[in-house]
Amino acid sequence: MKLRHGRVDIVLHERDAGRSDCLPLLLLHQVGGSSADWPERDESLGWPGPVHALDFAGHGESAHVVGGGYYPEYHLADADLALEAIGDRAAVAGAGGGAYVALLLAGARPDRVPAALLLPGRGLAGGGDAPEFSELDMPSFDEWEEQVSADARRYRPGTDRGVSRCERDLRPLDYVKPFAEASNRLLLSRDLPVAEAPGWLRMAADAECSEMAPAGLGEGIRRLAKRTA
Amino acid sequence: MSPAVRAPHRICHGVDDVECEAAGRRGSLPGMLPGLMVEPIHSDAVPPLRQRWLAAGDVRLRLHEWGDPEATPVVLCHGFFDHARGFDRLAPRLASRYRVVALDARGHGDSDWADTYMWPVDVLDIVRVLRDLGRPAHLIGHSKGGGQATDAATLEPDRVRGLVNLDGFGPPDDQGFKRPGAPDQSQMTIAQRCGEYLDRRRKADQRTVWPAYPSFEDLVARRGEQNPGLDSEWLRYFVYHAARAHDDGWRWKADPQMVAGGFGPFKPEWIGPSWQQLRSPMLAVIGSKPDTWGPLPEKLLQRRLKYVQHLERVTIEGAGHFIHMQEPESLADHVLEFLGRA
Q: In this structure, are strands B160-166 and B282-287 parallel, antiparallel, or unpaired?
A: parallel
C-beta atoms of B208 and A141 within 8 A? no
pLDDT for residue B66 = 98
Nearest to B202 among A84, A107, A182 (CB): A84
- The CATH code of domain A2-228 reads 3.40.50.1820
Across B257-285, average pLDDT:
92
Task: List the end-to-end C-alpha distance of chain B, in Å, as a whole number.
Answer: 21
pLDDT tens per residue across span A114-149: 999 999 999 999 999 988 876 655 667 788 788 888
* Phi, psi angle pair for A124, to nearest 5°: -70, -40
pLDDT for residue B238 = 97
3-state SS track over chain B? CCCCCCCCCCCCCCCCHHHHHHHHHHHCCCCCCCCCCCCCCCCCCCCCCEEEEEEECCEEEEEEEECCCCCCEEEEECCCCCCHHHHCCCHHHHCCCCEEEEECCCCCCCCCCCCCCCHHHHHHHHHHHHHHHCCCEEEEEECHHHHHHHHHHHHCHHHEEEEEEECCCCCCCCCCCCCCCCCCCCCCCHHHHHHHHHHHHHCHHHCCCCCCECCHHHHHHHHHHHCCCCCHHHHHHHHHCCEEEECCEEEECCCCHHHHCCCCCCCHHHHHHHCCCCCCCEEEEEECCCECCECCCHHHHHHHHCCCCCEEEEEECCCCCCHHHHCHHHHHHHHHHHHHHC
Q: Does B157 touch chain A (CB under 8 A)?
A: no
Question: With bands split at pLDDT 50, 70 and 90, how would you rate the model's confidence at B275?
Answer: very high
C-beta atoms of A5 and B204 within 8 A? yes
Q: Is the separation of the CB atoms in B202 and B195 below 8 Å?
A: no
pLDDT for residue B32 = 47
Nearest to A73 among B56, B121, B264 (CB): B264
Residues 6+ positions from A88 with CB-CB distance below 8 Å? A112
Q: Does B195 touch chain A (CB under 8 A)?
A: yes
pLDDT tens per residue across span B44-92: 999 999 999 999 999 999 999 999 999 999 999 999 999 999 999 999 9
CA atoms of B138 and B132, how far apart (whole Å): 14
* A60 to chain B, closest Cα gap in Å: 18
pLDDT at B11 over 60: no
Provide the CATH number for the domain around residue B243: 3.40.50.1820
Buried b (16+ CB within 10 A) or exposed e, A33-54: bbbebbeeeeeebebbbbbbbb
pLDDT for residue B17 = 31
Query: Which of A113, A110, A94 minimizes the C-alpha distance to A201?
Result: A94
Q: In chain A, which residue's Cα lies nearest the Cα of B204? A: A6
Q: Does B308 touch chain A (CB under 8 A)?
A: no
Q: In chain B, which residue's Cα lies nearest the Cα of A69? A: B116
Let me know if residue B25 belongs to a domain. yes
Q: Does B202 touch chain A (CB under 8 A)?
A: yes
* A23 to chain B, closest Cα gap in Å: 21
* A4 to chain B, closest Cα gap in Å: 6
* Phi, psi angle pair for B317, to nearest 5°: -65, 135
Query: Which of A21, A9, A85, A22 minimizes the C-alpha distance to A53?
Result: A85
* B19 to chain A, closest Cα gap in Å: 17
pLDDT at B25 over 70: no
pLDDT tens per residue across span B161-214: 999 999 999 998 875 555 556 667 778 999 999 999 999 999 887 778 888 999
How many domains would you assign to chain B? 1
Looking at the DSSP bridge assignments, the partners of residue B313 are: B284
Question: With bands split at pLDDT 50, 70 and 90, how would you rate the model's confidence at B292?
Answer: confident
Q: In chain A, which residue's Cα lies nearest the Cα of B124? A: A141
Let me know if residue B260 belongs to a domain. no
Q: Is the separation of the CB atoms in A63 and B116 below 8 Å?
A: no
CA atoms of B151 and B155, how far apart (whole Å): 6
Residues 6+ positions from B261 with CB-CB distance below 8 Å? B197, B200
Please report residues of A whose CB lies closer than 8 A to that of B117: 67, 69
- ipTM for the assembly: 0.95
pLDDT for residue B228 = 85
| Interchain CB contacts (distance < 8 Å): A and B | 138
Inter-CA distances, B297 with B164, B213, B271, B301, Å:
19, 36, 15, 6
C-beta atoms of A69 and B117 within 8 A? yes
Q: Does B197 touch chain A (CB under 8 A)?
A: yes
Let me know if residue B53 belongs to a domain. yes
C-beta atoms of A137 and B124 within 8 A? no
Q: Does B205 touch chain A (CB under 8 A)?
A: yes
* B 106-145 near A (Cβ less than 8 A): 106, 112-118, 120-121, 123-124, 127-128, 131
Nearest to A6 among B115, B156, B190 (CB): B115
Average pLDDT, chain A: 93
Across B101-108, average pLDDT:
98
CA atoms of B163 and B168, how far apart (whole Å): 12
Average pLDDT, chain B: 87
Please report residues of A whose CB lies closer than 8 A to that of B207: 6
pLDDT tens per residue across span B113-154: 999 999 999 999 999 999 999 999 999 999 999 999 999 999
CA atoms of B22 and B40, how far apart (whole Å): 24
Q: Is the separation of the CB atoms in B59 and B50 below 8 Å?
A: no
Q: Is the separation of the CB atoms in B262 and B119 below 8 Å?
A: no
Domain ranges of chain A: 2-228
Q: Does B58 touch chain A (CB under 8 A)?
A: yes
Query: Which of B309, B315, B261 minimizes the C-alpha distance to B81?
Result: B261
pLDDT tens per residue across span B215-225: 999 999 999 99
pLDDT for residue A41 = 65
C-beta atoms of B277 and A136 within 8 A? yes
pLDDT for residue A145 = 81
Peptide bond into B295 cis (omega under 30): yes
pLDDT at B2 over 80: no
Q: In this structure, are strands B99-103 and B137-142 parallel, antiparallel, or unpaired?
A: unpaired
Q: Is the dihedral of CA B290, B295, B301, B305 positive or negative?
A: negative
Structural domain of B156? 17-173+209-255+267-341
Residue predicted with more confidence, B170 or B29: B170
Inter-CA distances, A130 with A168, A198, B304, Å:
11, 11, 18
Please report residues of A whose CB lies closer than 8 A to that of B205: 4-7
C-beta atoms of B116 and A171 within 8 A? no
Residues 6+ positions from B9 with CB-CB distance below 8 Å? B39, B41
Let me know if residue B68 belongs to a domain. yes
